[in-house]
Structure 1
Amino acid sequence: MPQQIKNTAYAGGFSNPPVVSAQAFRAAMTAMARPGRIEDINGATPPGGISVAAGSLLLTLCDPETGVYLAPDVDSEALRGWLSFHTGAPIVAAEQADFALGSWAALMPLGCFRTGTPEYPDRSATLIVEVPGFGAPNAVLSGPGIKDAAKMALPDLAAFQNNTLLYPLGVDFFFTCGTQVAALPRSTQISAEA
């Protein structure tokens, strides 16, 4: 491993892992429990190419037992080394992933990710979708964790609606940009913003 990549792999972890990982975990779980709500999440300084929020999620949620798929737009030797050093998570193919990271376009098609089985619906993938920003909402969300309705910008309404139809199977989503995260669990009902 070249020296520069080696140094990059060792840097950028949580400064105080017990405290910072607990804060990041709380932000991730709050985002998932409150679909469409944007939370601040930070603590990690990942290699270039991914956001602080995505790096913080990876350090919080991944371990040697969780396979990670890196889409072509984010996959790099530096990121692989960083993830391996800080979490021990193996890099796997999309079909085996517990977590997947990349832009929406690079993560397509959704059908290549595990959606769980009737006996084990939890054996599904969670996608961490890097977005350029949390733009104007085009979707209305309802369901668990949402009092009346929430609004969110989604890259492809039909894809998310089809995922919801699989419930209790399907994949779950985190959306990351800068130091912010929002989530969309498979249980959320989605309709177009009027």
Structure 2
Amino acid sequence: MGPSSASEPHVVVLATRNAGKIKELHALLAPLGLSVQGLDAYPEIGEIPETGATFLENARIKARAVCRATGRISLADDSGLCVDALSGAPGVYSARFSGENATDDANNAKLLAAMALVPERDRTCRFVSVVVAASPDDRELVAEGTWEGRVAAEPAGGGGFGYDPLFFDPQAGKTAAELTPAEKNGRSHRGKALAALVEKWRTGWTEVAAGEG
């Protein structure tokens, strides 16, 4: 199964307290027979500053910090919405697009306002997810997934979280918030990244390069 903790070899700690993300990741990692925990199981671990300039840097920062704190394989996802008409924003700032204490509703409202005058043909966007798994013996896996879509003119759907009500998938003909969890996992950026990570799990672990943070 790759690198593991000696005490609990099948435990993976997810570097998040986001209930929606934990639920998605749990379903996606189930095929590996892993026991998944979120950071709620480790209240002693405080907030981990996301100081990276890219999704990869932020995912790596979080995965390594949680791995050091728990001594277990840790998995971190950094993801966001990249809108072409906004030069790739909100990007790595997706979670705090409307400020440090941002809510999903506030972020969506700011996005709608920013896109108010953008015509349909220019509303292209994509969700991007980079996943890093870090092991206690200084190995890691990296995988990435993208999900192409468009920014909807108004929110639709009651499922999902984040920008899901505004992310319209032309192939599905629905927003991400209108998809069932199974449909979303089969199409989403995070689903694609996790599927790639699962493929690498047994053979793709690599030594962390000397000097990396």
Query: Which TM-score applies when normalising by structure 2?
Result: 0.25
> Using CA pairs below 8 Å that are at least 6 residues apart, which structure has the higher relative contact order?
1
- Name the larger-Rg structure: 2
